[in-house]
Amino acid sequence: MGHYTMPLADNPFTMAVEAVQALKAQNIKHIIVDMHAEASSEKQALFHMLKNDVSAILGTHTHVGTDDLQVQEGCCFVTDVGLTGCRDGVIGMGKEVPMQRLLTGIGGHFDVPDTCKALLQMVVFELDEEGRCVGAEKIKIYDDKPKIVTSAWME
């Protein structure tokens, strides 16, 4: 979990480096990291810290799918995979509670409405035997539109 606007936690960067080194010491080659953070800079920094040691770093939390899917030095990276939920709401949920909170400061429980325009976003990647990423795609599936598939930028 990142630092910016997130609950207090141990340093995610030192913990991630230590955890990855411990996995590599056990000869584990297929290592996937979910960086749950608000700030894209934290996700990008972790990518540069770990890209030579992990298979993929997938950012989550903002629910806004980014268009930066890439494979560098055998590591798949995207700042945010995106959402599964209502695309006509707020971060995949109903829009009433977030709007109420912004207008009044009074929060509430986010719920998925019974009906909405649905969206499913995902990243699919392929790893070789050594745990290095050899290809990736970002897929968006709508309930009422054609599926969109975007290939990763490969370096």
Query: Taking Cα atoms as reference points, which of 26, 20, 79, 80 lies closest to residue 52?
Result: 20
The total of structural domains in the chain comes to 1
> Helix (H, G, I), strand (E, B), or coil: what is residue 108?
coil
Identify whether 6 is part of a domain.
Answer: no
What is the band of 91 on the pLDDT scale with cuts at 50, 70, 90? confident
Domain at 31, CATH number? 3.60.21.10
Q: Over range 88-114, report the average pLDDT.
A: 90
Give the domain extent around 131.
Answer: 12-154
Identify whether 2 is part of a domain.
Answer: no
What is the band of 10 on the pLDDT scale with cuts at 50, 70, 90? confident
Q: Over range 79-92, report the average pLDDT.
A: 91
Q: If you ran DSSP here, which 8-state letter would residue 95 be given? A: S
Identify whether 24 is part of a domain.
Answer: yes
Burial status of residue 77 (CB atoms within 10 A of its CB: 0-12, 13-18, 19 or more)? buried
Structure tokens at 142: 């709508």
pLDDT at 35: 93
Amino acid at 126: E
Query: Taking Cα atoms as reference points, which of 120, 112, 45, 125 lies closest to residue 82?
Result: 120
Identify whether 4 is part of a domain.
Answer: no
pLDDT at 4: 75
Kindly report the pTM of this predicted structure.
0.89
Identify whether 3 is part of a domain.
Answer: no
Contact 33, 57 (CB under 8 A): yes
The region of weakest confidence among 16-25, 104-113, 116-125, 139-148 is: 104-113
Identify whether 38 is part of a domain.
Answer: yes
Amino acid at 49: M
What is the band of 8 on the pLDDT scale with cuts at 50, 70, 90? confident
